[in-house]
Every structure is written in C-alpha cells, then in structure tokens.
Structure 1
Amino acid sequence: MTEQLENDYDVVVAGGGAAGLNGALMLARSRRTVVVIDAGAPRNAPADGVHGLLGHDGRPPAELLALGREEVRRYGGQVVSGEITTATRTEDGFTIGLADGRTVRARRLLVTTGLTDELPDIAGLRERWGRDVVHCPYCHGWEVRDRAIGVLNTGPMSMHQVQLFRQLSDDVVFFTHTGPELGPDELERLAARGIRVVTGKVTTVEAGGAGITGLRLADGTVVPREIVATGTRMVARAGFLDDLGLPAVDHPAGVGRYIPADATGRTEVPGVWAAGNVTELTAQVGASAAAGAMAGAQINADLVDEEVQKAVADRASRSANVEQVTLPG
C-alpha cells in the first residue's frame, strides 16, 4: 500500500465511500489506471452498522470500506488519503489539486464525495447523531423499533418520515417544531394512526447516562422520548467542482443541494461523472454502490470510444502517408 500519487491516471475518483470504491473496482477490473482520493470523513461514520445491504447487513461502516479498499487494490487500483480542493480543465482531461499541495492529472473524473448533513439547531442533537438521533427508518428503524420516538417537523419530507417511523413503533410523537404548519388533512392522517402532535419549538435534547430522556420545548415542557428522528438539510460536498462550472444546486424536492447527473452518472460537464449521495441525496449504501458501479462502467466505455476514434484517425493518417510515399513521381 502506498500514498504516492502517479502523475497521470485514466480516472481520478474523488471520495472513497461505497460509490467511489465500487466505481474504482469496475475501472480497475477493466485495466484502467485509477486512484481513489479519500478525505476520510464518511457520512455514516457514527453508525454502528450498515443496514439493508444484502450480505453485509450490520457490518460496521469502517469494516465495509476496508474490504472495498482491499478489493480495489487487488486489481491494481490505488486508494490514497487526501482532500481534493481544486479541479481544472486541461487539453486532455483534468488537473486535480489536493489540500496538501499535491496535484494529479486524469482523463476522467468520478465524483463520489457524498454530502454533509446540516442538523436542526437544537442543543444536544449533534452529540447524539447516528446513535439515538436518527434520520432514516430503513437504516436505523429496526434498531429503534418499539421505542418512544419523537419526530421533528423540519421540512417537506417530515410527514412522510413520521408515518414510516410509526410503522416501527406504536409510541410516536410528532413535534411541530419549526416545520410547515399542519393542515386539517395532515392532522387527520396523524390522528388516524395514533400519532400525538406536540406544538412548539424544541430547544434541547435531554440526555442521561443511558441515552436520550426527552425533548425540551421553548416553554420549558419536557416530553419524554428515547429516540429522535429528524430530517436534515443535505448538502453535496463538492465545492471543488465550481471552477468546472458544476456547482451544487437546489434539489427539486427541497431537501438540500446536489450535483445533477443522469441515470449513468454523467454530468453536464464532459468528462465528469457523479455517483452516490453527492448526486442522489437519499441513496442508501447499496444504491450508492450500484450507482458507482454504473458510473465506472460508463466511464470505461467512454474511454474506449475515445481510444477507438483515435485509433481510426491514426490508421487513416498512416494510410495517407503510405499513399503519398508510393505515388509515382
């Protein structure tokens, strides 16, 4: 294993999560020179295990990534530590700059840097994030089943979220907090499922030695709860793409900012692909890995097409030169 970067690669993969590693695996198995540059800050680091991933359910996130890095290296790919800060266009690809001053050139760029979860401004919330403060019923739901769950109304997806958590527990309270005002139809849907509504802004997550004990409101009332479910504002971590004319934009669902890409991962900037949470904000690990594999295969096909075109042009050039040499004087 080496942290030494070569000067040139077919593909630089920005980000070493499930999407990036699976993309790199596809490329390395296609005999592409590929390096994964990873800043070492995975979104799911606080979680005890990855869930909903066939064959790996419950595996610690760090262990899953270690297995992925080993597989990429088995086929000649590199995985190095570093934070990408710049990406600039060159005649035949890109120059990628790292925070430590290193640079590397690549013909193609696969961006899988994930996202940052911006949590509501509630005292004590961040400290419990990924343990008894959760966001995804499919990632954490089984583990919090039958517990006393409080769901915060933080945005347009909160009504959907509370009903999903109600599937997991009979004891669910919906806190209006700072979210949109609830209409009669929404209140009816909550009441029909036995979900109690508590009005007022939540200011503090109360916790003891064993975990969360309740949520404190602005008026001082504490509502006993063991688990807090909250939506986050999800923001793509890809500021280095700004100089390529590919900034993060507002997601149409109003849940954050993302890098738009098509179903294959191709972005509007030629030579740049994106996969995983940087472009699909709500994707779980399995979906991110699959998207990385798709993008890796598409990048390889794009490089093959470029190489075929060059080979055809070179052959035509050689033929023209031969004809000129053999023409009678």
Structure 2
Amino acid sequence: MSERSSVEQINGAFMREAASAPAVVEKKVERQTERLRFEVGPESERQRLDEFLAARIGWLSRLRIAKLIAAGACLVNGEAANSGQRLRRGDVVLFEPGEWIPNAATPEPAPLEIVHEDEDLLVLIKPAGMLVHPTRNVKTGTLANALAFHLNQRRGTATDGETSEPALVRPGLVHRLDRATSGLMVVAKNQRALSALATHFQRRLVKKRYLALVHGQVDRDEMVICAPIGRDEEARPKWRVMQGGKEAETRLRVVRKEGSWTLVELEPVTGRTNQLRIHCAHIGHPIVGDDWYGPADQTSRLCLHAAELGFHHPRDGRWVEFRTPLPSDIVEIMELFTSE
C-alpha cells in the first residue's frame, strides 16, 4: 500500500467518526463545596459512568475516579453506582471527588508559543527546561498543564449560580520532547485526531528534523548512524548503545562548521529514548550542553532543537509542514564558542 493510500485510509476513518459524532454537549453541572452534580444529556446516552466523569473532572485520572466510585463516592439518581454503569438521558449524577491532587489535566496558566491552531490540533514550540508531562516528583508547571488551561479556558459560563460546562478537552500528546530539548510539537485536540496522528507517527509518515550543536568538527558532511540502543540498569545514564538493544537509526547532515563546533541536522528514523543524544556521543561528537553523554561544560542548556515538523493533517490528509529557527540562546552559545 502506498503512503498516500495509507494516509487516506486512516483519515477516512477519522472523517466517518467525525460525521457521526454528537454536536450537543452536556446540559448542566452545579459545583458545590464537596460534591459535584451533573445532569446527563442525550449525547451521553449509554456512556459508562467512569468515562462520563473522566471527561468532566480534569484533576482526577479515570483510575482514581473508578476507585472513588467503588468506595461509594458516586450516586446516580440517589442510588449507589458502579464504574461500568450505563447512563440514561436525564440521570442525575452526584460525585464527591475528595481531596484535590494536581495531575496532567490540572489547568495552569502559562505562556505558549503556538504557531498554528485549528479545530483538530495545534502546533507549538516547547521551550527548553519544560517537562511535557508530569512525573512522580513533578506535578505542576508542565506543558500538559499549560495545554489543559489553554484548551479549556473558555469552558463554562456562570448563569444563576449554575455552570454550563461541556466535556473537558484533554490535550492529546502525540509525541514528546526531552525536558532539555526545545522545538516543534503537534498536539491533538480530540480523540479522532489523536488516533490518526498516533498512527501516522507509528507508521513513520511524519517528518521530524532537529538542529544540534555538537562538540568538534564532524568530518563527513552526511552519514547514517546505525547503533542499537538498550537500557542498562547498572549504568548511568541507563540508556546507551549496547549489544542486544533495539535497532536505532539517525541521519546526520552537516549544516555549518566553525572552530570547535559543528551545527548538524539530525533526522531520527527510529524513535528510541535519548536517541539523538546517544548517537551523537557514539560518533565522538556529543551535543553541547549534554551533561549525560558528553563532557561537563558551562553552557546554559542542551543545544538540541526540533526545527522541522511535517505530517498529514488528520482531517483531510493534506501535507502540512512547520519550521522554526534556532532559538536565541543556542545562537548565543555558538557565538561564544566562535569567539573563544
């Protein structure tokens, strides 16, 4: 099957779902101090109770909601409920969420550099130093939190003490960048776009190119780095080139050489953890600012930037492509190295 026919097949499924998707949103939700009240609209007929609540309570995971339901924190029409219970139009759902704990869907206002946005997706430039998703130790200040705020800031308008509130829009993180890496990312705004884009990424129908400042002068103008990457629990860092690792391939092209550094373009054919950093170090040219795989230096950041991103739009299959120049802090590091 050709790439074009494959994309058309994926996007065809997307459009069929879009055509049949309900256009109506939930009718009402009344927020109380300790209990949330929802009235089920016709669009949620036959929906599972846990799915219904997860779409409307952004600060709780579906697993946490299921546990609370099992513990008796939810009533449907005044009676005890279970997670798999199918809802009917007009049902009244009362839910006590308990203690508030921030997570990936907790909205937090933060500046976002958005370069494109439409009804299905947005493309933005993630700054260096920002986590894409909360971790065990970091629960706030991530890109996911900022996106949750951006996508839901217009939800609900107060009228007579009640709030008209549609289902929560959850950011669909199709791919990720390391915390230290800056650059372009695409984020799905609905489940259909997320499914289509995830399939595109999985089938390698997406164009991803990075710019990296590396130590030393790379001799060859172009090369393909093929070195398997695996996880060694005894080593630090754990991810490295090793026998028995998974196949990993990176295409490298020299953009500019100057003194003690080289600016290269990197295209990851595969998507292993820390692949670009590991492969550059493997050929003897670690990325500037990489304290894991390269020498310690005084630079302010890892000099790796996702500069190009291209993909087939999930709604109609057209090819869209985005480019962003090197950020100013990497340019300043290049100038500093040149002057030495």
| TM-score where L is the length of structure 1 | 0.27
Higher fraction of helix: 1
| Higher relative contact order (Cα pairs below 8 Å, separated by 6+ residues) | 1
